[in-house]
Amino acid sequence: MKLLIKGGRVVDPANDIDAVMDVMVEDGMIKAVEVNILDREGTIIDATGKLVCPGFIDMHVHLREPGYEYKEDIASGTRAAAVGGFTTVCCMPNTNPVIDTAAVAAFVRERAVKSGIVNVLPIGCISKQLAGKELSEMADLVAAGCVAVTDDGQPVSDANLMRNALEYAKMFDLPVLSHCEERSMTREGQMHEGYYSTIYGLKGIPAAAEEIMVARDIILAELTGSHVHICHASTQGSMELIREAKARGVHVTCEVTPHHLVLTDEIVGDYDTDTKVNPPLRSAEHLEALREGLLDGTIDCIATDHAPHHPESKDCEYDLAAYGISGLETAVAVIMHFLVDKGLLEYSEMVELFTVGPAEVLGIDKGTLDIGTDADITIIDPAAIKTVNPNEFLSKGKNTPFKGMTLKGWPWMTIIKGRVVAQKGQLVNNNTKDLI
Ligand code: DOR
Ligand code: ZN
Ligand code: ZN
């Protein structure tokens, strides 16, 4: 099986490529990346005007299976990922049962092979039952294919447990992903604490609640010499702490979400519960600090924190609503529209944040168009314009604050191991036909 992707602008930051080239795929692998490949066998894809990139990776996705299939399952979540331009997703362990044993991790991987359509890499729990008391059996989780550990959804409030988690994780070269939240300061919090929380009359979540934990985790990473990764960094102070720690040589990495990069707390004023998320949408100064961090290398990658919820958990008063945004199907367009199209982020920077960035955090062999690797490819149409309609989402989670927004720059095609799985927002089952 051959596939020739012709005439696109190939953006492969890991190989320092940003030029009009052809990509040849054979037997599910990258065979050649060259100017004007003449071989015309197999399926030809005309990618003129498109960006041909290594497959995008989303390292922070809540697929909800097992246990919460009414919110999302591996079938629906991976289909959402595919049309969203992602070829690999990492799934979070706050399922039911939680992913704290090899058996549950193995179940997720088996389900992913049977019902998933993108690569799924499970992430295991730091603590048994996500209870924050006792460490999970990390060796078993690693043996079962987990690529990281986290108690995401919950902070690890016990500093000594976090220290021990970091010590153990180091033995397996495993990043420890930290949901940074000092709970004593965030309980009942609905939105970012600041001017708008006062105006809107909603209880605030201070930036300090995140930053205290970022500071603690940096100190613990330094103490243990281990790798801590800060999930969904959202504040100016977090940026400063991470930037300074990196400069000192501490092994700290971080991700940022599309929503924290482009939305501010002001929009909570409509009391649309789809704006309720944890950490909350912050003020404009924080957003600016994140954009700076994106450009100066403080931020390693963009991750969605895709958190699908059932309509019942959102169709209620703001203070009763669940936290979370369904992000897989808008992430690429949001970044393309608000940052790339506005000239705030180069193509190669954007691609890096979705490919080699997360691959390096996780230490996985993905995120490049290296010859001989899996042909996971994301093709983007920078000129495509579409209005976000959650009713068209393949995710069961329709909870998006981007609904109704018209965005420019959308995923055009998603290829996994040489198979076209999605095109222009639709799934593709038959990949033998010409797709010109
Ligand atoms: O908004 C959020 N939703 N933040 C979290 O930390 C958890 C997530 C979820 O699981 O719904
Ligand atoms: Zn989290
Ligand atoms: Zn999360």
Same domain, 12 and 117: no
* Residue 24 domain boundaries: 2-52+374-384+407-434
Q: How far is the CA of 309 from the centre of ligand 1 (A)?
A: 10
Three-class SS state of 364: coil
Of all ligands present, the nearest one to the C-alpha of 278 is: 1
Q: How many CB atoms lie within 10 A of CB 346?
A: 15
CA dist 74 and 147 (Å) reads: 18
Same domain, 174 and 30: no
Same domain, 338 and 422: no
Residue 367, in any domain of the structure: no
Same domain, 146 and 38: no
What distances in angstroms separate CA 325 from CA 83, 270, 307, 331, 402, one per listed residue? 17, 16, 5, 11, 10
Q: How many CB atoms lie within 10 A of CB 19?
A: 11
Q: Which of 305, 374, 376, 381 is the catalytic position?
A: 305
Residue 393, in any domain of the structure: no
Average pLDDT score over residue span 101-107: 98
State yes or no: pLDDT of 21 exceeds 50.
yes
Same domain, 195 and 332: yes
Tens-place pLDDT, residues 353-364: 999 999 999 999
Residue 256, in any domain of the structure: yes
Of all ligands present, the nearest one to the C-alpha of 68 is: 1
CATH number of the structural domain spanning residue 162: 3.20.20.140
Domain boundary pick from 332, 362, 392: 362
Tens-place pLDDT, residues 54-97: 999 999 999 999 999 999 999 999 999 999 999 999 999 999 99
Of all ligands present, the nearest one to the C-alpha of 189 is: 1
CA dist 32 and 380 (Å) reads: 20
State yes or no: pLDDT of 432 exceeds 70.
no
Confidence at 1, pLDDT banded by 50, 70, 90: confident
Same domain, 286 and 159: yes
Q: Give me the residue label for tokens 């983007």.
A: 380
Q: Give me the residue label for tokens 């969904």.
A: 232
Helix (H) or strand (E) holding 176: strand 176-178
pLDDT confidence of residue 431: 44
pLDDT, mean over the chain: 97
Helix (H) or strand (E) holding 12: strand 2-12
CA dist 176 and 317 (Å) reads: 35
Tens-place pLDDT, residues 188-203: 999 999 999 999 999 9
Confidence at 153, pLDDT banded by 50, 70, 90: very high
Q: Whose CA is nearest to atom 6 of ligand 1?
A: 153
Write the CB contacts of 107 (distance below 8 Å, at least 6 apart in sequence): 66
Write the CB contacts of 277 (distance below 8 Å, at least 6 apart in sequence): 259, 305, 307, 323, 324, 325
Q: Whose CA is nearest to atom 2 of ligand 1?
A: 324
Are residues 154 and 130 in contact, defined by beta-carbon separation less than 8 angstroms?
yes
Peptide bond into 66 cis (omega under 30): yes
Same domain, 48 and 126: no
Average pLDDT score over residue span 415-424: 98
* Cross-strand bridge partners of residue 6: 46
Tens-place pLDDT, residues 282-310: 999 999 999 999 999 999 999 999 999 99
Residue 400, in any domain of the structure: no
CA dist 128 and 365 (Å) reads: 29
Peptide bond into 279 cis (omega under 30): yes
Three-class SS state of 283: coil
Q: How far is the CA of 151 from the centre of ligand 2 (A)?
A: 8
pLDDT confidence of residue 435: 42
CA dist 173 and 251 (Å) reads: 12
pLDDT confidence of residue 430: 54
Same domain, 83 and 228: yes
Same domain, 70 and 36: no
- Chain length of the chain: 436
Read off the tokens for 269: 């004023």
Confidence at 122, pLDDT banded by 50, 70, 90: very high
CA dist 154 and 177 (Å) reads: 11
Residue 402, in any domain of the structure: no
Helix (H) or strand (E) holding 406: strand 406-416
Domain count for the chain, please give it: 2
Ligand 1 neighbours (beta carbon < 6 A): 62, 94, 152-153, 179, 277-278, 307, 323-324
CATH number of the structural domain spanning residue 19: 2.30.40.10
Residue-wise DSSP of 39-90? ---SEEEE-TTSEEEEPEEEEEE---TTT-TTT--HHHHHHHHHHTTEEEEE
Which of 60, 61, 62 to mutate for ligand 1's pocket (most ligand atoms within 8 Å of CB)? 62
Are residues 38 and 70 in contact, defined by beta-carbon separation less than 8 angstroms?
no
pLDDT confidence of residue 434: 43
Q: Is 272 in the active site?
A: no
What distances in angstroms separate CA 165 from CA 161, 169, 186, 218, 312, one per listed residue? 6, 6, 24, 14, 36
